[in-house]
Amino acid sequence: MKKLLLIAVAAAAALYSAALRADDFPSRAVTFINPFGPGSASDTLCRIVADKLGPALGQPVIVDDRPGADGALAALYVHHQPADGYTLLMATNSPLSADPFLHKDVDYDVLKDFVPVTRVGSFTLMLVVNPNLPIHSVKELVSYAKANPGKLSFASGNTAGIVGGDTLAHWAGIDVLQVPYKSTPPALEDIMAGRVSMMFADFTTAMPHVKAGALRPLAISRIKRSKLYPDLPTLDEAGVKGFNLDAWAGIVAPTGTPQEVVAKLNGVLRTIIDSPEVQDKFKNVGFEGFSSTPQELGDYIKEQLVAWEKMVKDANIRPE
């Protein structure tokens, strides 16, 4: 009886402590960990959200860029932080969908080591090439690559770039050299300079260069045409049947973060993400923004692990 009483007291104390942490949260600065470099799409999203989250929480919100290993370094860093809600990961499909199948040494468990907070939205990617190349469509790209074996190269600034490029090369049966980068902006710089031929790049980073004529878009990665570029065909329409690469963004925290803190963050973040002002900012950078419940994000992450595993296998990519 005494043992049961002690257990009950301990449980009540734990619940009371968690409630205090939630009521108190936040009492200091919150840090957003971005898995890619400055100027990347995820960095842009972090700063748009952080700009509103700080005033809403009454504390500073710091954006910390930690690129490397296709986002895995940032995810591993967040995994090892205290589970108190003060360190959040701007998660994308790279660390939480693709990295477990592209890298042998991913030292975290996507489903066990993170607690979902909310979706932020989805990126659409476009296949872009250096405009000096005599390539104006996916068909012309394939023909040029076959007529000039080994001459074309594709950059990858994240896992979507890797899987997109390898899927296209495998489907078309062409020899294209992959050139890896830690983030998309420096990769695009090299494409515009003619040092690399092409890449799958998110709208957020590529759009200004496309509008300026410094990059030529050929197709988009998702199964439906984009409202931003309605004349641009999908990869599915260009012949890569069923190709539907959804690059996503969401916010997660280390597992063990009190449910009350997660609920508070979810409520504040959903109000911010779905607000007309932030929606306009997202649209201006070519991002489709929308929020979710933690459960909805958790279910989506499970689905995306299955989808990305299949895409990696279908592209005949071996983990490194």
Specify if 59 maps to a domain. yes
Q: Last residue of a domain, which of 220, 237, 258?
A: 220
Strands 114-123, 125-129: pairing kind: unpaired
Q: What is the pTM of this model?
A: 0.86
Residues 181 and 257 in one domain: no
Identify the pLDDT of residue 7.
Answer: 52
Strand partners, 126: 201, 220
Q: What are phi and psi of 123, to 5 degrees?
A: -95, 145
Specify if 61 maps to a domain. yes
- Torsion on CA atoms 234, 238, 240, 241, rounded to nearest 10: 80
Residues 129 and 160 in one domain: yes
Residues 286 and 309 in one domain: yes
Residues in the chain, pLDDT under 50: 8-20
Q: Contact 232/225 with Cβ under 8 angstroms?
A: yes
Specify if 227 maps to a domain. no
Specify if 196 maps to a domain. yes
Identify the pLDDT of residue 23.
Answer: 75
Quote the domain boundaries for residue 103.
27-123+246-314
DSSP state letters, 78-89: HHTS-SSSSEEE
CB proximity list for 7: less than 8 A, separation 6 or greater: none
Identify the pLDDT of residue 5.
Answer: 53
The strand ranges marked E within 50-193 are 61-65, 87-92, 114-123, 125-129, 153-156, 177-180
DSSP state letters, 260-307: HHHHHHHHHHHHHHTSHHHHHHHHHTTEEE----HHHHHHHHHHHHHH
Specify if 271 maps to a domain. yes
Classify residue 133 as exposed, middle or buried by CB count within 10 Å of its CB (0-12, 13-18, 19+): middle
Residues 277 and 194 in one domain: no
User: Domain count of the chain?
Assistant: 2
The strand ranges marked E within the chain are 30-34, 61-65, 87-92, 114-123, 125-129, 153-156, 177-180, 198-202, 216-220, 247-254, 287-289
Identify the pLDDT of residue 186.
Answer: 95
